[in-house]
Structures are given as structure tokens and as C-alpha cells.
Chains A and B, each alone.
Chain A
Amino acid sequence: MIEALRVALRRGGKKLLAGVDFHLGPGELVAVVGPNGAGKTSLIRILSGEYPPDSGTVQLDGVPLDRWSPRLLARRRAVLPQETSLDFPLSALEVALMGRMPHVRSSRDRQLALDALHQADAAHLAHRIYPTLSGGERQRVQLARVLCQLRDDSAPAQRYLLLDEPTAALDLAHQYTLLRTVRRLVGDGLGGLAILHDLNLAAQFADRIVVMAGGQIVTGGDPRTVLVPELIREVYAVDCVVTRHPCLAVPHVIPVPDARMGVGAHTTVPRTHD
């Protein structure tokens, strides 16, 4: 279990996180949502140990992160950043292979990297040069890198994957492929956290939705209880209708145009719900 207790983080005089309690257990997928600047990326940074919190503690298996050796920590949790730029001509396979860095070198590494590329639907990119790939292709290669990093058959420990807007650069099909891949790994016991902007994707894939605003956690829980119009208006200042997804037993959020702002005034479709 990764656990943050009463965590506060300040950077450059700005309060990024204040009094945040959060936990991520094995076998669950948590979606973190919230407006820009809510502290979602900061949460990932303190959960991964990239930033030490100014107060409070972050623990993995009950041991504070700063007591973990960076290498052992890297075998237990991986982070997929929003964007990874690279100015040097590494191939996609070489990037995926970087995931093996925290592990003891083995002759299987290459095969693990190829498997991970396959899982991330990037096998055909293996020999392409990373800087020549599109944004979405890069993101899939990075996903392969983190999947590769978390493969460890020698020690049956719980592993965690933190994804920072993993779907931002992806087309519709790959958004679903990525989240389905993560979902399957979560089914096998992985603990997953994903920052998502699309509330409907969050509702479809997450076991739990955590809503952040202003460096704090506003609420969290089952998507059906969290995604209600009042909360969405409070957090995003957007009016919406929440219906049931036509095929799944999850809520579906539909923003409605605000007549007072004149947005959508050209539409002839009347508002059917309120």
C-alpha cells in the first residue's frame, strides 16, 4: 500500500498540497480528477518520492519513502509522465529497455521489453527512432517502458503504477486500449493511479474517483456517488447532467451549455433535464 498522511507540499512560496490523506492499495484503479492546478501532478510527485513532502509522510508498505533505496523503490512503482521529450536518437526498444535499469541485468531483458511494447500496442515501433514518433506513439512507448519496469518475476511483491494524464496525447482507440491494459494489470494485483481529465473515462475504468481542488482532496469514492452535478459545479464551475451510461452501470456526465454566458445559444436542442 502506498499511503500519504497529512501531506503538505510547498514550492517557491506556493502551496501545492495541503493536508492530503491518500492511499492506493493493490488491485485497485484510482482516478484522480480535478481542474488544472488542483495539485494532481504534485500528488503523483510526492507518492513517487520525486518530491519529499514538507510535512506529513508518504509510505510504501509502512516504510517512509526516504528510507527506501531508490533502486528498490523503482522495482515497486513506476511513473508515466505527461510527456517525455528526448533529444537523442534512441530507438523505441532502447527506451523500453530503460525500464530494466533498476533490475539485475538478464538475458531476458530484451524479450521483456518487446513484450511490453506489444502490450502497449507499440511493437511495430520497436526499431523506430523515438524523437521521430508522434506524441501518441511516444506515450505508448513510455507506457511500455513503465510496464517493463514493473515486470519482476523473482519477487512476488505488490507493485504500483502512477499515470499522469496517460490519455492526453492518445486518440480515442488508444485511450481505451491503454486503460484496458492498465485495468487488466490491476486485475492481476497491480495498484494503479491515473490522473484523468475525462470524467466519463474515469467513471468507466476506475474503482474509485478522487476529486482534487486547490491542493486538497475534496472527496473520493465510488464513481456513482462522486460524480453528481452539485460536485461538478462546485469543482469545475460547469453545469452538467449526469445520466446512466447507455451500456454500462456507470454514471455518464454531459456538460450543458450555460444560457447566461451565451455559449451554445445557436443550438436549437432544448434542455431536457435540470
Chain B
Amino acid sequence: MNARVFAAAVAEPETQGDRSRRARWTLLALAAGLLAVAVLSLGQGALPVPPDRIVGILASAVGLGDAARFNHFEMHVVLHLRLPRLLLAMLVGSALAVSGAALQGLFRNPLADPGLVGVSAGAALGAVTVIVLGATWLHGMTAWLGIYTLPIAAFIGGLAATLLVYRLAQQGGYTPVATLLLAGIAINAVAGAGTGLLTFIADDQQLRSLTFWTMGSLGGASWSNLAAAAPLILLPMLALPVLAMAMNAFLLGESVAQHLGVRVEHIKILVVTLTAMAVGAAVAVSGIIGFVGLVVPHLLRLWMGPDHRYLLPGSALLGAFLLLLADLLARNVVAPAELPIGLITALVGGPFFLALLLRRRGMYS
């Protein structure tokens, strides 16, 4: 009987092969989709620019082709307003999505999200501290770190929050959903109170730069803050996929991972640090944009399974794609005004989270 069942199992469609082939195609499709939305996004706005001219302008900017063909104003809009914003949206989207996927793997819990578990709030507290106290108490730090002050402060805040959640919610290599979310609520409350307190003592000019934190926005995009955030986001984006196999083993629990030869403590510290870095940098330049880290890895897991070797790059691409799409909406729905992008992700992500909770209800107790 065994032999027959075995033969049948072998003859069945190959899950493993299917899934990885499907995953590879998905990554390709996502990359193509991202490129298309990027070109679309660069052309959309008060001054529409057709795709062929976008490609021409971009080519001329890197020294290919003749810049004189395009008018100066058009070039300025594309290269200095839309392009940094586009790149920032992509970076922030990937950072949040990959961090979400990594945190979910680390916590062995598909409901972890940088926003829900308090990492974003911790990062925001770090950043707001620098904005409000940067000119006075923390002057030395600001002078020393320059443009990196804000992302590094956010990274420290995010790191502290992640470590705290981990200590609070972890019970013997396992993180119960309820404890994780409760720890997240507590950290969000404490960090929110700290941010509130700083907002209270902030002066008028600081208040203006604080407002966009509450809902998240890409409105502050410029080449300089892009330059500040990019290294802190790109490093984790490149480093986390290297840990993909170890993170796969983590799904079976810390002790199983250890028995499989994974250096569990090293991996934990690396994942926590890298995600805090990416989230910190993203929060520093765009405020708190919620639910990207929850929704993106979920959609991908449904489609191609939980293997981190595909999930992490896939999350980077889909996160960039969705945030770009959300930004396109944010800029165009109520043009010439602009919706905060965090509002759009929350409008989509909130109900998605609710649906997940409902589907998983009864699995907590």
C-alpha cells in the first residue's frame, strides 16, 4: 500500500517545483509592473508628461541623448520633484513590506507588522525627539551626524521598540498572537505619549514639520532626504534575503532552527537590527505609513507560499509597487490638493487586517 501511495505522491503535480517556478515568474511580473507604474507615476500630475518623453528625460539625465529636446520646466518637474518622490515611495514601500515579512518570520506570527507592534511608533518617537530637541539638547548629535541624524534617531527608537516587544511577547521561542498585539498596543501608547509630549513643547515651526508624522506622507521627498534614507534602507534590503534560509527554519520554532544548525541568537539580532534600520529610515522620511508590512507579505504567501527566498524579494517589489500606486492615488484623487498616503494605506489595510482577524478568530485561545 505504501509503495502505491508513494508512487501516487510522486506522480502528483510538484508543489515545491510549482511554487518556486511560480514565485520566479511572479518576481519577474512584479518587476515589470513596478517599472510600468513608475513611468506612469512620473508622467501623472498637474503637468502630464507622456511616457516616451519620460524615458527621454531620464536617458538625457544620465548622459544618453540630447537634453535640449525637452523644455526646462518639464525636466525640472520630472527630475527634481517627481523622481525623488517616486524613488522615496519605492524605497519606503519595500522597506516596510520586507520588514513586515521579516518580523512575521522572526515572531513566527503572520500578524506582525512594524506599525501594529510599535516599531514605527518607536521610530517616530526617535525622529520627533530629534526634530524638537535637535537644535537645543541634542545639538551635538545633530552637528555630528548631519543629514543622517533623523534616520539614525528613528532607527534607535525603532530598535528599542522592537527589542521591547520581543522581550515582552516572547515565551520560550514562541510568540502568542494576543501577547504580541498587546505588547504592540502598550508600546504604541507609550511612544505615542512621548511623541505627544514633544509635540506639546514644540514651537510653531517644529509643529509644521511634525504634522506629517501622524498620517504619513511622501510630500517631503527631496534628493537630500532620499540620500539620507537610501543607505539605511538598501543595506537591510540586500542583507535580509541572505538570511532567507535561516528565517525559513525559524518558522518551525527557535529550537528546531537551532537543531538544524542555525545560529539562532545571531540571526535574531541581525533581523531585529536590520528591520529597525529599514523601518527607522522609512519613518524618518515619510512618517508612519501603516499596514504595508502586513498586507504585502500576506498576499504573496497566499500566492507563492512562505519561502523567504522568494517572499523577501517579492515583498520588496510588491511593497514598492503598492506604495507607488497609493501615492498615485494620493496625488490625483483630490488634485490639486493631496491626501496623506498613510490615510490610503490605512483605508485599505484596516479592513484587510479585520478580515484576517475574523478568519483567524478562535485560533488564539
Contact = CB atoms under 8 A, between A and B. Distances in A.
Interface residues of B, number: 34
B16 A93 contact: yes
Contacts of A114: 6, 9-10
Nearest to B262: A70
Interface string B104-117: 00001110000000
B74 interface: no
Contact of B15 (A72, A74, A127): A127
Interface stretch (B126-134, B225-233, B248-256): B248-256
A224 B259 CA distance: 33
A78 interface: yes
B204 interface: no
Nearest to B308: A88
B301 A88 contact: yes
B106 to A, nearest CB: 12
B52 interface: no
A202 B307 CA distance: 38
B153 to A, nearest CB: 34
B305 A90 contact: yes
B260 A101 contact: yes
B5 A124 contact: yes
Contact of B12 (A72, A85, A126): A126
Interface in B15-37: 15-17, 19
Interface in A120-135: 121, 123-127
B258 interface: yes
A79 B249 CA distance: 14
Interface string A179-205: 000000000000000000000000000
Instruction: Choose among A45, A75, A86, A94 the residue with the greatest number of B CB atoms under 10 Å from its CB.
Output: A94
B259 A74 contact: yes
Nearest to A114: B10
Given A74-B260, A74-B261, A87 B108 contact: yes
Contacts of A127: 9, 12-13, 15
B296 to A, nearest CB: 15
A110 B109 contact: no
B249 A98 contact: yes
A95 B251 CA distance: 10
B136 interface: no
B13 to A, nearest CB: 7
B10 A81 contact: no
B2 A123 contact: yes
Contacts of A81: 253, 255-256
Contact of A94 (B13, B15, B109, B258): B15
B306 interface: yes
B76 interface: no
A64 interface: no
B248 A98 contact: yes
B238 interface: no
Interface in A222-261: none
B105 to A, nearest CB: 8
Nearest to B107: A87
A48 interface: yes
Instruction: Choose among A89, A98, A114 the residue with the greatest number of B CB atoms under 10 Å from its CB.
Output: A98
The 4 closest A-B pairs by CB, nearest first: A74-B261, A102-B261, A71-B261, A88-B306
Interface of A: 45, 48-50, 69-75, 77-79, 81, 84-91, 93-95, 97-99, 101-102, 110, 114, 117-118, 121, 123-127, 149
Interface of B: 2, 5-6, 8-10, 12-13, 15-17, 19, 108-110, 174, 245, 248-249, 251-253, 255-256, 258-263, 301, 305-307
Given A94-B305, A121-B2, 13 more contacts: A48-B259, A74-B259, A79-B255, A87-B108, A87-B110, A87-B251, A88-B306, A90-B307, A94-B15, A98-B260, A102-B261, A124-B6, A126-B15
18 contacts: A50-B258, A69-B261, A77-B259, A79-B256, A85-B253, A88-B251, A90-B251, A98-B260, A99-B260, A114-B6, A114-B10, A118-B6, A121-B2, A123-B5, A124-B6, A126-B9, A127-B12, A149-B260
